[in-house]
Amino acid sequence: MKHEFVPYEPSLALKELGFDEHCFAFYNGKFIQSTEFDFDSYNSIDVGPHPLAPTFSQAFRWLLKNHNLYGIIIPTITMNWTFKTMTVVEDMMEVPPYKYVDANDYKTPEEAELACLIELIEIAKENKQ
């Protein structure tokens, strides 16, 4: 199940961007530890300075909700994988809302998903400055 969670470095970058959603786990050092999530009260323990370990779906939803950024993983002609990032704006015809990352073909969809997430985090950092 470890592969469902965003790795340490991107999780730390999400924390720096303000990610503070309820999560099943956090990084204690670089190791995942359970937050003892309470489903009845929808609370997790305070993890202090440690970065939370969101699932990939949580991270992507949070970036869309808080930074208007979206990514999609797509297969390539060569049967590898790539991704496309988009900035969601009111009038999609106003500006080029997307960016293809064609130079990188990834062998698995999981590799492309991680690369896409890292790219979205970098875009969010640039937009924040």
Q: What is the DSSP letter of 38?
A: B
Q: Express each pLDDT in 74-129 by its tens digit.
A: 888 888 888 888 877 665 555 555 555 555 688 999 999 999 999 999 999 998 87
Strand 69-75 and strand 31-34: the pairing is unpaired
Nearest-angstrom CA–CA distance, 35 and 12: 16
The tokens for 11 are: 């999780």
Query: CA 82, 97, 118, 17: dihedral to nearest 10 degrees?
Result: -160
Cβ proximity of 88 and 79 under 8 Å: no
16-24: average pLDDT: 89
Nearest-angstrom CA–CA distance, 53 and 126: 22
Residue 73 has pLDDT above 70, yes or no: yes
What is residue 77's predicted lDDT score, i.e. its pLDDT?
Answer: 83
In terms of average pLDDT, the best of 1-5, 20-24, 88-92, 93-97 is 20-24
Beta strands in 40-97 (DSSP E): 69-75, 81-87
Please measure the distance between the N-terminal and C-terminal CA atoms of the chain and give it in whole angstroms.
Answer: 35
